[in-house]
Amino acid sequence: MSRLTRDVQVDVLGRRITARELDVSEIRAHLAGAGAAAAEVDAVGVLLFDGVSFADLTAMSDVTLDELGRLAPSEIKDIIAACREVNADFFAMMARLAKLG
């Protein structure tokens, strides 16, 4: 079985964004990087959406921060849905982590 992927057409960008399932080593690296990047917080990138950051989206798909900056929140929500679909275990883990405080 291959990793899960899901494509989202983003007309504003004129291309498809591919959301892909992270493997366990990528999840570990992403979480380690999130701690290191805490000093350079992008409030919009962290707080605009509940439970997902721009850093999460760029790790889980081929969208760039520059591209996210050119999209409306409603357009980004389609990318979020695709990332959540193919990374359900990651998001479930993050929900469990949030409950721990």
Range of the domain at 31: 5-100
Q: What is the mean pLDDT of the chain?
A: 92
pLDDT, position 7 = 98
Residue of 44 and 40 predicted with greater confidence: 44
Examine the pLDDT at 35 and tell me if it is beyond 70.
Answer: no
Examine the pLDDT at 39 and tell me if it is beyond 70.
Answer: no
Is the whole model's pTM more than 0.85, yes or no? yes
Instruction: Give, in order, the Cα–Cα distances in Å from 83 to each of 38, 39, 57, 101.
Output: 22, 25, 7, 24
Closest alpha carbon to 19 in 69, 74, 56, 73: 56
Domain count for the chain: 1
Tell me, rounded to whole angstroms, the distance of Cα 84 from its chain centroid. 8
